[in-house]
Amino acid sequence: MTVSHSPHSAQSNNHRTAEEIGRTPAGPRELPPLGQQRAADEPEHVDTVLASGLRVLAVRKPGAPMVELRMTIPFGSAVADGMHTATAEVLADTITTGTRRRDRVAIDTDLALIGGDLGTAVDPEHLSVSASSLASGLPTLLDVLADLLTEATYADHEVQREATRLVERLAVARTQPRVIAREALQKHRYGDHPYTREVPLPEDVERVTPEAVRALHPAAVLPRGSVLVLVGDIDPQSALAEVEKALGDWRSDVAATELPPLPALEGGDVLLVPRAGAVQSQIRLSAQGLPRTHERYPALQLANLTFGGYFSSRLVENIREDKGYTYGAHSGFEFTDGAAMVQVDADTASDVTAAALLETRYELGRLGLVPPTEAEVESVRQYATGALLIGSASQAGLANQLIGLASVGLGLDWLRGQPGRLAAVTTEQVAEAALEFFAPTRFTGVVVGDADLLGPQLEALGGVRIADRQL
C-alpha cells in the first residue's frame, strides 16, 4: 500500500535511504575543543540602603536603550488574617487602577509614552513589581511607581471589578494540572502554614472589601526590608538620585512583614491525589535542600544538575530519551527567604506514571550510590557557570538574577563569586551532597492523576498513600 501525498508535497521520490543519509565518505569527525573563555566585564553599580530602609541596587548594563525595574516587598502578613491571601491578591490587581494624581487610563498613558510596562504579583512571601521602559523615561517610571506606592486609591468600583475578574481567572487557574498539583503538594508538605496559601479561594475573594484593601496597603506596602533593582542603560549614581527624589515620601518606621520560617521538610509517603479523566499525571517530589548562602550549596547545585537539573541529566536521559515516558522531567530548587527545597517534577501519560515514579526513585538512589563521575561533574560545572553568564548577558536576565539574590540579602558579589565557588567543588563533595540530600527516603510528594488506573499500580509499588478527596 502506498501513502498518497498531497498536491502541495514537493518531496522527492528518489531520495536516499535513512542509512545513506547518516554517513559520508569522510566518516565521523572529531569534536573541536573549547576555546579560551573571557570573563564578563565588571558592571558599574551602586548598592545602598536609603534612609527609608529601602535597599536600592542600580547597575549600568548598556545594550538596549532600556531600563529594567524589579521590586520585592516582604508581604507575609498572612499569619493572623485568614483573608490575607485574597485581600493581597486583590490589592496586587488593583494597585495600578488609580492614584490621587492619575486614574487607570492616565497611568497606562504615562507608561506607554515612555515605552513602559508595569506589572504586579503577589505570593505568600512578597509583593513584587516588574517594570521596564526606555532608559530616558526612568524619571517618569519612578514617578508612576512612587504614585502607586504612596497614593493608590483603590476606588470601590475598581476593587469590585478586579475582584470579579480575579474570581473568573481563579476558576481557570484551578483547572490547570500544574496549579492543581502545586496546591496538593503545598498542602501535603506544609499543611496549613501560610506559605501554602498561594492562590486565594474564590469565596474569600468575593468577600474582600475596598476598605480592607485600603487598610492593607499602608500596613504592608513598606520600604523597610524591601529591595529595588534597576538594570539598564543608566548611570547608577544618577539613577540612585532619581530614586531618592521620587520615593522620598515613601516612609514608615515599621518594617515590612516577613513570613514565619517553614518547618524542616521530612521525607514520607507520596500522596496519590485523584483527578478524574486525566490523560496525564503530575509527579511532584520534594525534599529539604540548602540555601544559596550555605558553603555546601555549590556542591548540592552540581549534584542536582546531574540528577535532573538539565537536559543531559540522568533523569531526563532515562525517562524521556530512553523510555519516552515524558516530554519534560526536571529537578530544581525552590528558594524561600530562609530555606531551599529540591523539587522534582515530571508529567507522564497515565499508563506509565507508576513506572516513571519507579525510575525516578531509582535515579534518586543511584545518585548517592553510584555517584556523579568526574565527567558528569565537569559537564554540570560548565553548564552552571555558562548559565550564569548567559543569564546576566541581558538586562532583563540580570535584573531577574539580582532581584532573586537581593531578596535573600545577596547581590552582585555573590553573582561574581559563584563561578569561583563552582570551580572549587570536588567530585567527592558532589558525591557527599548526592548521598545525603538525594536519598529517596528524604523525599515526600504527590502524584495527581486518574486514581482508578494509577491506584493499584502505585499501591503495589509502595510508599504511596491514596487521598480520599476527588479533585
Partner 1 sequence: MAEPVLHRLTLDNGLRVVLAPDRSAPVVGVSVHYDVGFRSEPEGRTGFAHLFEHLMFQGSESLEKLAHFRHVQGSGGSFNGSTHPDYTDYFEVLPSAALERALFLEADRMRAPKLTQENLANQIDVVKEEIRLNVLNRPYGGFPWILLPPVLYDTFPNAHNGYGDFTDLEQATLDDCAAFFDTYYAPANAVLTVAGDIEVDHARELIEKHFGDVPARPRPERPSFAEPRPTRELRDTHVDPHAPLPALAVGYRMPDPIGELDAYLAHLVLASVLVDGDGARLQQRLVHGEPLVTDINAGAGLFGPFEARDPDTFSITAMHTPDVGVDRILGAVDEELESLAAQPPTSDELARVTARWSAMLHSEHDRLVNRTLGLGSFELLYGDPSLLHGAADRIAAVSAEQVSQAAKNLRPDSRAVLLVEPAQGGAQ
For partner 1, which stretch binds (CB under 8 A), given 105-113, 219-227, 253-261, 365-373? 105-113
Q: Which of 1, 15, 42, 80 binds partner 1 (CB under 8 A)?
A: 15
The span of 36-44, 252-260, 331-339, 457-465 binding partner 1 (CB under 8 A) equals 36-44
Residues 234 and 122: their CA atoms lie apart, in Å, by 28
Largest CA distance in the chain: 81
What order of strands is seen across the sheet that includes strand 326-335?
326-335, 340-349, 280-288, 444-449, 270-274, 464-466
**CA neighbor of 74 nearest in space, from 94, 57, 53, 58:** 53
Q: Does residue 307 bind partner 1 (CB under 8 A)?
A: no
**Beta carbons of 205 and 34 less than 8 angstroms apart:** no
Q: Which is closer to partner 1, CB of 118 or CB of 340?
A: 118
State the DSSP code for 309: I
Say if CB 129 and CB 160 are below 8 A apart. no
Q: Which residues pair with 70 in a beta bridge?
A: 130, 229
> Exactly one of 6, 42, 192, 253 binds partner 1 (CB under 8 A); which one?
6
- Rounded to whole angstroms, the Cα distance separating 383 from 328 reads 18
Q: How far is the CB of 163 from partner 1 (least distance, A)?
A: 12
Is residue 2 a contact point for partner 1 (CB under 8 A)? no
Nearest to 73 by CA among 150, 151, 127, 149: 127
Out of 215, 245, 249, 311, the only residue in the binding site for partner 1 (CB under 8 A) is: 311
322 binds partner 1 (CB under 8 A): yes
Q: Which is nearer to partner 1, 8 or 192 (CB)?
A: 8
Q: Find where cell 558579589 sits.
A: 413
Of 396, 386, 413, 401, the residue nearest 39 (C-alpha): 386
Contact predicate 51/425, CB 8 Å:
no
141-180 residues near partner 1, rule: CB under 8 A: 161, 165, 168-169, 171-172, 174-177
Write out the E strands in 19-137: 45-49, 55-60, 66-74, 117-122, 126-134
Taking alpha carbons only, the member of 40, 42, 45 closest to residue 385 is 40
Q: Is 3 in the site for partner 1 (CB under 8 A)?
A: yes
Parallel, antiparallel or unpaired: strands 55-60 and 227-232? parallel
The residues, any chain, with a CB within 8 Å of residue 143's CB and separated by 6 or more, are 110, 246
Rank residues 168 and 452 by Cβ distance to partner 1 and give the closer one.
Answer: 168
**66: contact with partner 1 by CB under 8 A:** yes
CA atoms within 13 A on the CB side of 410: 20
Residue 40 binds partner 1, judged by CB under 8 A = yes
Among 215, 219, 241, 390, binds partner 1 (CB under 8 A): 390
CA distance linking residue 208 with residue 185, whole number of Å: 27
Alpha helices (runs of H) in 174-259, residue ranges in sequence order: 177-190, 202-207, 210-220, 236-246
Q: Which residue has the cell 514565619?
A: 260
Q: According to CB under 8 A, which one of 22, 42, 253, 462 is a site residue for partner 1? A: 22
Q: Which of the residues 323 through 362 are near partner 1 (CB under 8 A)?
A: 323-328, 347-349
Instruction: CB nearer to partner 1: give 7 or 462.
Output: 7
Single residue of 58, 69, 88, 134 touching partner 1 by CB under 8 A: 134
Minimum CB separation from partner 1 for residue 144, in Å?
Answer: 13
The verdict on 5 binding partner 1 (CB under 8 A) reads yes
Q: Which residue from 70, 197, 292, 320 is in contact with partner 1, where contact means CB under 8 A?
A: 320
Among 46, 60, 101, 104, binds partner 1 (CB under 8 A): 104
Of residues 24 and 80, the one with the C-beta less far from partner 1: 24
- Per-residue binder mask for partner 1 (CB under 8 A), 396-435, x = binder: xx--------------------------------------
For position 181 contacting partner 1 by CB under 8 A, the verdict is no
Rounded to a whole number of angstroms, the minimum distance from the CB of residue 147 to partner 1 is 15
β-pair partners for 271: 446, 465
Q: Which stretch binds partner 1 (CB under 8 A): 215-223, 235-243, 274-282, 427-435?
A: 274-282
278 binds partner 1 (CB under 8 A): yes
Which residue from 218, 74, 211, 201 is spatially nearest to 155, judged by alpha carbons? 211
Pick 97 or 226: Cβ nearer partner 1: 97
Is 32 a binding residue for partner 1 by CB under 8 A? The answer is: yes
| Footprint of partner 1 on 212-271 (CB under 8 A) | 233
